[in-house]
Amino acid sequence: MADYLITGCNGQLGTELCHLLDEQGIAYTAFDSQGMDITDRDQVMKVITQEKPQVIFHCAAFTAVDAAEDEKRDLNWQVNVDGTQNVADAAKKVGAKLVYISTDYVFDGTNQGEYQVDAPTNPKNEYGKAKLAGEQAVENTLTDYYIIRTSWVFGQYGHNFVFTMLKLAETYDKLTVVDDQVGRPTWTRTLAEFMLHLVQTNAPFGMYQLSNDGDCSWFKFASEILKDHDVDVQPVTSEQYPQKAYRPRHSVMSLEKAKATGFTIPTWQEALQQFLADVTE
Ligand SMILES: NC(=O)c1ccc[n+]([C@@H]2O[C@H](COP(=O)([O-])OP(=O)(O)OC[C@H]3O[C@@H](n4cnc5c(N)ncnc54)[C@H](OP(=O)(O)O)[C@@H]3O)[C@@H](O)[C@H]2O)c1
């Protein structure tokens, strides 16, 4: 039995967290969707009561934002809401602290400033609605929890915008990228370190927001990713690049509460540089 348990350990964040704990010599048990399908309440209860972790890092989620609008609408809800409720109930049963990851999509993106942790939510797409309901499941079930909202996640172990841009640049010499959606990219490494930091420092329970520091549009992010590539990156509007699910225009979340815990947050440019060095070495 280990103190830490990870759900969704094959995802971008779950895999990063496993590597971080391995590096630090910290014991944990990790479950993918085969080992513990979070929508299977009996399985969740059985596994978590057997393992009796002190902390559950809940990284499992349904993350296909556009599919959540129609053909995967039910699955989005089953995983992100019912699944999270199952994990929260099991955490309560064994007295474990729960770390739940949420999203900037709980906001509508109409605020031109930074969203504070207690800003009113107003999700506009199905994924954001389900992740918010997941937050509420955690808040209504437990007292010992950390909810961490994050955004624009990229890491070594999955599909993400950085890999998509690098791949497209192999084939095309000109790319168009949306320039009127502004947010904060997040390297899985920074997020995994913050998750561990919260529990290791016994930070106050509650809601946090964590991304890399600074902000940018997708166009600016793409330009930085491809600055050493021979490709012409051009800005376009959201209207010129329609997507099924609504995307917030300005979802920059305040990092002040995270910084107040003593955690140092690299800028997104620093994080990207380190990530690119890691994947190209
Ligand atoms: N990616 C982003 O840009 C982004 C932005 C904001 C917030 N977030 C949040 O950050 C967290 C981590 O996201 P991520 O990027 O690491 O996502 P990811 O790469 O899509 O990983 C999610 C993992 O959840 C697992 N999963 C799905 N359904 C499951 C089920 N029923 N039971 C158990 N596991 C299940 C998946 O396993 P299978 O592959 O086996 O299905 C997958 O390994 C999530 O809470 C997400 O909502 C992500």
> If we measure between CA atoms, which residue out of 135, 45, 50, 33 comes closest to residue 92?
45
Q: Do 272 and 187 touch, CB atoms closer than 8 A?
A: yes
Rounded mean pLDDT of 76-89?
Answer: 98
Rounded mean pLDDT of 137-143?
Answer: 98
**What pLDDT does 228 receive?**
93
What is the residue-wise DSSP string for 144-211?
SEEEEEE-SEE-TTS--HHHHHHHHHHH-SEEEEE-S-EE--EEHHHHHHHHHHHHHTTPPSEEEE--
Cα 145 from chain centroid?
A: 16
pLDDT digits (tens, 9 = 90+) for 189-237: 999 999 999 999 999 999 999 999 999 999 999 999 999 999 999 999 9
Tell me the pTM. Answer: 0.98
| Range name among 12-21, 91-100, 272-281 with the lowest pLDDT average | 272-281
- What lines the ligand 1 site, CB under 6 Å? 7-8, 10-14, 32-33, 37-39, 59-63, 79, 83, 101, 103, 131, 150-153, 158
Most ligand 1 atoms within 8 A of CB, residue of 42, 153, 194, 211 to mutate? 153
